[in-house]
Amino acid sequence: MTDTPAESTKASFRSDVSVELVKHSAGDSDVLWAARVSTAGEQSLEELQKDPERSKGLINFLMRDRHGSPFEHNSMTFFISAPIFVFREFMRHRVGWSYNEESGRYRELQPVFYVPGEARKLVQQGRPGKYVFVEGTQAQHELTGRVMVDGYQHAYEAYQEMLAAGVAREVARSVLPVGLFSSMYATCNARSLMHFLGLRTQHEEAAVPSFPQREIEMVGEKMEAHWAALMPLTHSAFNTNGRVAP
């Protein structure tokens, strides 16, 4: 049964994304006990009571020589709000990730839409694989904002019209654009997050350059800030060794 939609729902527009760390079991000590079981067996559990700072050289060694599995024994769950097109890019990352996204089949989707801010570069120059983005003109920014807002409002009005006529949510949602905001839980470990960050952020210390879309990079930057606070030695070793996942 389809719920009757509200008679009037005002659209809102965002140029940001939000990332909340909702739960975690992650620390530098997780890397150490996982690595030292190779030589210490059950005594590796003693690492849980030690200061990881004393063993940061081991973490750096593991990162440098790409011994990756010790970086998997941890977990972080993020609640992310971003445009749908960002989540479609997220789904390219499957190893070491779990996702649950809000459903347009089971709830009425809210009219929150993405409009780029003034800092978002608008103009693409060059050919695929060898292009750069440059600043847009004031006229281009004004055009982009106006056309997006008009298109979003028209699409959401059509969505509401179908819902009011009794059309199922899973059918009516087809008219909504990928600039609509969605939300999801994303769970990963440090190794899978490092692989994500290596591809989805630009960084001066990266050994391999990456050219992510800015909107998913905004999500990556916020996730990285949370992770760096939880595992500072691992994060430092990641940067020192070229931001390449082990």
Q: pLDDT tens-digit profile of 118-149?
A: 999 999 998 877 788 999 999 999 999 999 99
Average pLDDT value over all residues in the chain: 93
Would you call 120 a catalytic residue per the annotation?
no
When pLDDT is averaged across residues 62-86 and rounded to a whole number, the result is 98
Confidence at residue 1, expressed as pLDDT on a 0 to 100 scale? 39
Residue 161 has pLDDT above 90, yes or no: yes
Give backbone dihedrals phi and psi of 160, rounded to 5 degrees, phi first. Answer: -65, -40
Residue 77 has pLDDT above 80, yes or no: yes
Q: Answer for the pair 88, 213: CB distance below 8 angstroms, yes or no.
A: no
In order, the DSSP letters of 132-180 are EEEPPPHHHHHHHHHHHHHHHHHHHHHHHHHHHTT--HHHHGGGS-TTB
Structure tokens at 239: 């940067």
Q: pLDDT tens-digit profile of 234-245?
A: 999 999 999 999
- Marked catalytic residue, from 169, 173, 200, 243: 200
Rounded Cα distance, 246 and 244, in Å: 6
Question: How many angstroms separate the Cα of 102 from the Cα of each of 17, 82, 156, 166, 192?
Answer: 16, 12, 17, 21, 23
When pLDDT is averaged across residues 47-69 and rounded to a whole number, the result is 90
Rounded Cα distance, 80 and 197, in Å: 16
Strand-pair partners of 215: none
